[in-house]
Amino acid sequence: MVPALALRLDTFTRLSPEDRAALATISKVSRVIPARRDLIREGENPQYVHVMVDGWGCRYKTLPDGRRQIVAFFVPGDFCDLNVYVLKEMDHSIGAITRLSVADISREDMDNLTTNRPRITQALWWENLVTTSIQREWMLNIGQRTAYERIAHLLAELFLRLRSVKLTNGDSCDFPITQTDIADATGLTAVHVNRTLQELRRDGLIILEHKRLTIPDLQRLREAALFNPNYLHLTHEGQQLDANG
Amino acid sequence: MVPALALRLDTFTRLSPEDRAALATISKVSRVIPARRDLIREGENPQYVHVMVDGWGCRYKTLPDGRRQIVAFFVPGDFCDLNVYVLKEMDHSIGAITRLSVADISREDMDNLTTNRPRITQALWWENLVTTSIQREWMLNIGQRTAYERIAHLLAELFLRLRSVKLTNGDSCDFPITQTDIADATGLTAVHVNRTLQELRRDGLIILEHKRLTIPDLQRLREAALFNPNYLHLTHEGQQLDANG
DNA sequence: CGTCTGGTTGATACGACTCAAATTTGGTGG
DNA sequence: CCACCAAATTTGAGTCGTATCAACCAGACG
């Protein structure tokens, strides 16, 4: 099985067999975190860069009174904070949503990678810029879109991201996050998320049950979400080469 | 005059005279953009990395119907998208708020810098991570804080950022952004921002008039904003060395 | 088969939005 | 230096989207 990280970076550039080998080495699972447990907490000193090998996670921040904002979801193949060990302490936490297999990459291994594998380095740069871009889109989402658009947008984004690492099956995919998670990610309450999901279902935009999401008509969902995929920066060399061969 | 960029990076690390010289070269103003004009627009192909030398700017995204979200403010010394030329097209726009002096740095100059000046490279990494961290805090801000807390938080952040590049004067600073800008940055309407600013004034937390902001009691403002400065990652080597001599 | 988390529903409240107009400020040219 | 204009701020009245609180239900799991 091709590790999700390689699939992901392949979106950007065509990796050599040596590159793939290096990624396989790096993607070795070093930890399995049970569902709903934290991988690392705000205030701790980050030592490793993480790769999500299997399962879903999220990055979140909290306020003293318990209000919680999920600022990112992680799906397999996501790479976490290239160079984060430059910082003294974490300003947020990372938690597992499902049971999560993670590869911890030491600073040393990262340094080796960036000096010896320029193509991977470049691809990691790309992935870093895309992650930041997704954060910006989320700000637009939370700040400007209505509840309906907001949730539609989140679902469309996650579907596309999963598709890019081959974790979709036609028009559907596993979707393990709860309505409370969606609420914390969109700045809404769980009750309102529930009602809005019902609207989306009523309008035939989504089928969401038993932790499985189906999108019968992606184009319609995109329109409802005012979704412009440019921020995912998916059209790159890798894709073009794929198209040719 | 020490360029703001050097002041900013000095927060993180102690720069050598050669480092400073390199920064001075790079911080040469290559363009002056009139107030309220765009520096680069969504969809364009990014060729340069930018340094804000003088004046304020912002990064923003828009929806087809005109809704606009400011996702970041730039103040002097801010560095913009280390390595952005990796991407094919901009997913957002960058605009000038005041008249803005910018230094455009070519890919070539950046590559030179990163190969020859490891200390600067490290510091730019730090600045990159901090910028991303600020984005996360903004998501928490927009998604979870009340209007009152949200605006208080924004003002506190900008004040601290200006202070770190020595652009404050005691407890006050220039503050050229309009209430509409604040609205677009916080996900509120200009009318509501206006009323909330009046509340903040009434409570004695801020004095804001004639494009000048005064914070009589920063600690009180911080408390009102649920402001935790850890996300700015200001306590670093540079600061510690400063403390010793 | 009971427990528990996640999902659903209903009633009510309020924070923030909308629209519209008035007022103030700051910049520009006569 | 004043008149003028556009931009920014302020005010008021009415509305609406989303929150809150409180039950209740269902299906997953031990």
CA/C1' separation A183–D15 (Å): 25
Mean pLDDT of chain B: 94
pLDDT score for A125: 94
**DSSP symbols for B139-160:** HHHHHHS-HHHHHHHHHHHHHH
pLDDT score for A2: 73
Residue A237 CB burial class (10 angstroms; 0-12, 13-18, ≥19)? middle
DSSP helix/strand/coil, B54: strand
| Residue in B with minimal Cα distance to A84 | B129
pLDDT score for A235: 81
Residue B12 confidence (pLDDT) above 70: yes
DSSP helix/strand/coil, B167: coil
Q: Which residues of A touch B187 (CB under 8 A)?
A: 142-144
Of all residues in chain A, what percent carry a pLDDT higher than 90? 92
End-to-end CA distance of chain A: 20
Cα dihedral B157, B163, B165, B169 sign: positive
Count of positions (residues) in chain B: 245
Q: Residue B245: pLDDT band by 50, 70, 90 thresholds?
A: very low
φ, ψ of residue B10 in degrees (nearest 5) = -65, -20
Using the CA of B143, which nucleotide's C1' is the nearest one? D18
Helix (H) or strand (E) holding B195: helix B190-202
Q: Which residues of A touch B43 (CB under 8 A)?
A: 230
Nucleotides of D under 7 A from a protein CB: 7-13, 17-22, 28
Angstrom distance (rounded) from CA A240 to CA A70: 33
Of all residues in chain A, what percent carry a pLDDT higher than 70? 96
| Residue in A with minimal Cα distance to B61 | A140
**Contact (Cβ atoms closer than 8 angstroms) between residue A70 and residue A184:** yes
Q: What is the mean pLDDT of residues A36-49?
A: 96
Q: Check if residue A188 sits with its Cβ under 7 angstroms from strand D.
A: yes
Does residue A138 or residue B241 have the better pLDDT?
Answer: A138
**Contact (Cβ atoms closer than 8 angstroms) between residue A80 and residue A130:** no
| Residue in B with minimal Cα distance to A91 | B231
Angstrom distance (rounded) from CA A245 to CA B6: 48
* Residue of A58, A69, A83, A139 to mutate when probing chain B, most B C-beta within 10 A: A139
Residue B244 confidence (pLDDT) above 60: no
Q: What is the mean pLDDT of residues A95-111?
A: 95
Cite the beta strand spans of chain B per DSSP E: 31-33, 38-40, 49-54, 57-62, 68-74, 79-80, 93-96, 100-105, 168-169, 172-174, 207-209, 212-214
pLDDT score for A227: 98
CB-CB: which of A87, A91, A138 is closest to B139?
A: A138
φ, ψ of residue A22 in degrees (nearest 5) = -60, -40
CA A105 to chain centre: 18
Q: Check if residue B231 sits with its Cβ under 7 angstroms from strand C.
A: no
Residue A171 CB burial class (10 angstroms; 0-12, 13-18, ≥19)? middle
Q: Which residue type, as a one-letter code, is found at position A58?
A: C
pLDDT score for A244: 42
- Tens of pLDDT, residue by residue over A196-218, are 999 999 999 999 999 999 999 99
DSSP helix/strand/coil, B59: strand
Range from A1-10, A115-124, B116-125, B221-230 carrying the lowest mean pLDDT: A1-10
**Contact (Cβ atoms closer than 8 angstroms) between residue A171 and residue A218:** yes
Angstrom distance (rounded) from CA A168 to CA A220: 18
Q: Residue A238: pLDDT band by 50, 70, 90 thresholds?
A: low
Q: Check if residue B168 sits with its Cβ under 7 angstroms from strand D.
A: no
Q: Check if residue B176 sits with its Cβ under 7 angstroms from strand C.
A: no
- Tens of pLDDT, residue by residue over B193-214, are 999 999 999 999 999 999 999 9
CB-CB: which of B42, B59, B63 is closest to A226?
A: B63
CB pairs under 8 A between A and B: 116
CB-CB: which of B86, B143, B236 is closest to A88?
A: B236
pLDDT score for B2: 73
* CB-based contact B71 A142, cutoff 8 Å: no
The whole model's pTM is what? 0.95
Q: What is the mean pLDDT of residues A96-121?
A: 95
* Residue of A12, A140, A234 to mutate when probing chain B, most B C-beta within 10 A: A140
pLDDT score for B184: 98
